[in-house]
Chains A and B, each alone.
Chain A
Amino acid sequence: MTGEVLSVRDLVVRYRSHDGQPFTAVNGVSLDIGPGETFGLVGETGCGKSTLARAALKLTPFQSGQVRLLGRDLAELDGRELRKLRRRCPMIFQDPRGSLDPRMNVGRIIGEPLRVHDLAGRRDREAKVREMMELVGLPDELFDRRPVQLSGGQQQRVGIARALITEPGLVVCDEPVSALDVSIRAQILNLLADLRDRLEVAFLFIAHDLAVVRHLSDRVGVMYLGRMVEEAPVEDLFAHPRHPYTQGLVAAILHADTGGHERLQLVERLAAGEIPSLLDPPAGCAYQTRCPYATDDPCRIVVPAAEVVAGAADGEDRSHRVACHHWAEIPAPATTLEPGR
């Protein structure tokens, strides 16, 4: 585990709802991201994936667990050290327009990390900003524009440029394409993939769409109701999903391609109904309310622990882990996906 860019152990984040009811948004999640690795985190809205990312950057406080970010234990950092560390772990946000200060121009926004961390003089800064704009495909004449004058795709490019200008070790992308038009999504995803390859940056890539994650990630984690239910290398996860929830998600993304109807039925069976409320989570396995394989004992009593599936011998980061009592007995879905990106 040495040299990990981000290492999260048993993270627990609790919040209070608006009427003061406490609930657990992230419940004992662990994950590791190595240098230059892209970790895709998927799950439904409200499953705690954004909270996990924010807690990992200490933008939100966490109640227990350990986070090592770029080799530093977050619990040991004081405010000053934390601010210095943030230069190396920027974030790209879901709402591109909202994440840009409307009173600043593009040049100032992209150059802000340099200014905040005093990394370059005024002249130097402008040159670096222009260089960065070219890298992310922003026309030079946009330098003096305000965010409202840009298109959604351009706004997100500004967000990406701002994140990458300080040569970070880890970039957290919180659903960076969810708010964009479908036609723009591919451009932004390709840009991110291209930058990842060129800059050797690690990414924590959050999405609620498995298809988006599939193209970009080395490893994928699936979250459900505050817990990590399955985690595996990307090909492995798509070829051999073990958790019934993952099986449903994987079946869902390609139902349009082949065997449409069959797949839809599979999705229906594996992920029927609605996600339960975090305020009132079921006892035992979080997924039991929707799972076709759930049994009274142990599923409705004991929370399943993450178990290592075959492939563990390949080494730590190749492991395939699943948190399900019955994973060994569950039949593989009739139609698995061909591996590949």
Chain B
Amino acid sequence: MATGAETAARAEPAAGRSRRSWRGHGWWVFAAFLVLMAAWAAVPELFMPFDSDRLNPLRRLLSPLAVSDDGRHLAGTDSLGRDLFSQMIRGTRLTLYIAVVATTIGAAVGVLVGMLAGYFGGLPDRLLMRLGEAQTAMPMFLVAILLLSMLGPSVVILIVVLPTLVWPIFARVVRAETLQVREATYIEAAVATGCTVPAVLFTHVLPNVVPRILVLYVVEIGHVMLAEAGLSFLGVGVQPPDVTWGLLIADGRPLLTVAWWLTILPGVLLGVVVLSLNMLSRRFEQYAGAAA
């Protein structure tokens, strides 16, 4: 859909003008939304209208926008009478934290592996990339479930397991970029200057590769977020009393027919964050394209 708009804008500059200007500036709406999310994660107390943990049997399962003695519940309440909106805000921190940390670890591993494979080629290349492919061939989500159910669910183990889902993607992209960068004369110039291999990799290859994986990084945060939500939903991820959006969705599921908002609203929130990340990544893509 968006690609269609893009082509139209290119083909008919005059007619596509309004759409193009929306494309040009629309990204900041998503950026602003993500900033709000970051604020929710940083200082949830400022935004929470109610204490998210306070139970109140008198206001159980209120629908969104309903008013109780305490005030208006924007997103309704759950079966124990806790304010859902406040819980969603409280869950932001852990949700984002797990996604960002896990993606960063996965990206770091993938970048290192991809640079080594691409720069050295030959046997290291084949070994490392086969390893990645072998792992991609396995249903990692199932392996993650297995691991988490064996080791017992915990946030730490989640952060160790989730990167395994994403590192091969980073490794593949970085390897391809490194193959290209390796042929550049400035790499030969660096070697001729007397740079060590790590110096070449980290001062010359890495800075020329990183801008091109920025897009991937942002997209993968969304993926990892969904994976975490899935694992938490299945009960092998984050455990109460910790709260993440995935866990809220899981908690609401048995009541789907009675109180739809308990699953739908955290789900929509999650969806919008992932969408925003994707929209922002497109913006990065344009920026990286312009810089190259």
Contacts and interface: CB of A to CB of B under 8 A. Distances in A.
Q: Decide if A and B are genuine partners.
A: yes
Interface of A: 57, 59, 83-87, 90-91, 93-95, 98-104, 112-113, 116-117, 159, 162
Contacts of A162: 189, 193
Interface string B191-229: 111111001000010011000000000000000000000
A57 B199 CA distance: 19
Contact of A101 (B190, B191, B192, B196): B190
Contacts of B191: 59
B186 A83 contact: no
Contact of B185 (A84, A90, A95): A95
B51 interface: no
A104 B195 CA distance: 15
A-B pairs, top 10 by smallest CB distance, nearest first, are A86-B194, A98-B185, A103-B207, A83-B194, A99-B185, A101-B186, A91-B192, A99-B189, A113-B193, A93-B185
B188 interface: yes
A158 B117 CA distance: 31
A97 to B, nearest CB: 9
B288 interface: no
A306 to B, nearest CB: 29
B184 interface: yes
25 contacts: A57-B192, A59-B191, A83-B195, A84-B194, A85-B194, A86-B193, A86-B194, A90-B193, A91-B192, A93-B185, A93-B188, A94-B185, A98-B184, A98-B186, A99-B188, A99-B189, A100-B189, A101-B186, A101-B208, A102-B186, A103-B207, A103-B208, A112-B195, A113-B193, A162-B189
Given A83-B194, A86-B193, A87-B194, A116 B185 contact: no
A100 B196 CA distance: 17
A93 B196 contact: no
A116 B199 contact: yes
Nearest to A84: B194
A112 B186 contact: no
A87 B195 CA distance: 10
A91 B195 CA distance: 13
Given A102-B186, A104-B207, 12 more contacts: A59-B191, A84-B194, A86-B192, A86-B193, A93-B189, A94-B185, A95-B185, A100-B186, A100-B189, A101-B204, A103-B207, A162-B189
A113 B199 CA distance: 12
Nearest to A159: B189
Contact of A91 (B189, B196, B204): B189
Contacts of B190: 101, 112
B101 to A, nearest CB: 27
Interface string B228-267: 0000000000000000000000000000000000000000
Nearest to B292: A102
Contacts of A83: 194-196
A93 B184 CA distance: 12
Given A101-B204, A103-B207, A116-B199, A90 B192 contact: yes
B70 to A, nearest CB: 55
Nearest to B189: A99
A79 to B, nearest CB: 8
Contacts of B188: 59, 93, 99
Contacts of A159: 189
Contacts of B196: 83
Interface in B114-132: none
Nearest to B194: A86
A117 B194 contact: yes
A83 B185 CA distance: 18
Nearest to B193: A113
A113 B185 CA distance: 16
B119 to A, nearest CB: 15
Given A99-B186, A100-B186, A59 B194 contact: no
Contacts of A93: 185, 188-189
Contacts of A117: 194
A101 to B, nearest CB: 4
B195 A116 contact: yes
Q: Which residue, B185, B190, B191, B208, has most C-beta atoms of chain A within 10 A?
A: B185
Contacts of A90: 192-193
A328 B161 CA distance: 79
B186 A59 contact: no
B198 to A, nearest CB: 12
B190, B193, B208: most-surrounded residue (chain A CB, <10 A): B193
Contacts of B193: 86-87, 90, 112-113, 116, 162
